[in-house]
Amino acid sequence: MDKLKTYIERHRPQFDTEEPAAGHLERFEAKLTAAQQPIATRRIVKHWNLYAVAASVLLLISLGINWFSSSEQHENPPIEICDDPATMKYCYLNRMNDTARLIDELTQNIDPFEREIIQMEVASIIEDNQSFDEELPSELSPERAQAIMSDYYRHNLEALQGIVQILSANNS
């Protein structure tokens, strides 16, 4: 026997001077059974917004790949639209909203979760365009600021139109 066990055996009466509080064994057994029961977790629901963001990023990447790889894009360059500096922002926003309505119509019959993700992404694109002109540095010349805004708005409109093309192809 090792020294600790021998010491405990010799001095057992000194260790057994106090009884545990009433109900100790019941509480101990309850803790043991609770520890043995599996814990049900719902991590998917807890982190659904992370999955939504990941799905949105994947959607944007696939749209970008589709846009760059389409032969029509290289054969027919985009048409210049909304060039009037005074109405450029609202012209693009109106076209984006029209495209968003078309996307909403095209997503009527798809999975509700996928539809919600697409609608969140479309809303995010349009919302980002609402205040983009206010974020430009004031040091830019008016011509340079207009060119930057035109490219930004056109790019986002083309992204929305890319979503329409994908949804149209999938609905065919």
More confident residue, 92 or 18: 92
Q: Which residues have C-beta within 8 Å of that of residue 109, sequence separation ≥ 6?
A: 171
pLDDT at 77: 46
What is the DSSP secondary structure assignment for residue 98, as one 8-state letter? H
Q: So where are the chain's domains?
A: 43-171
* Percent of the chain at pLDDT exceeding 70: 80
Cα 55 to Cα 52, 103, 106: the distances in Å are 5, 17, 19
| Model pLDDT for residues 148-171, shown as the tens digit of each residue | 888 888 888 998 998 888 888 877
The number of residues in the chain equals 172
pLDDT at 168: 86
pTM over 0.85: no
Q: Which residues have C-beta within 8 Å of that of residue 116, sequence separation ≥ 6?
A: 52
| Model pLDDT for residues 126-146, shown as the tens digit of each residue | 888 888 778 888 888 888 888
pLDDT category at 102 given cuts 50, 70, 90 is very high
| Model pLDDT for residues 31-51, shown as the tens digit of each residue | 888 777 665 555 555 666 666
pLDDT category at 87 given cuts 50, 70, 90 is confident
pLDDT category at 98 given cuts 50, 70, 90 is very high
Q: Which residues have C-beta within 8 Å of that of residue 92, sequence separation ≥ 6?
A: 81, 82, 129, 153, 154, 156, 157
pLDDT category at 5 given cuts 50, 70, 90 is confident
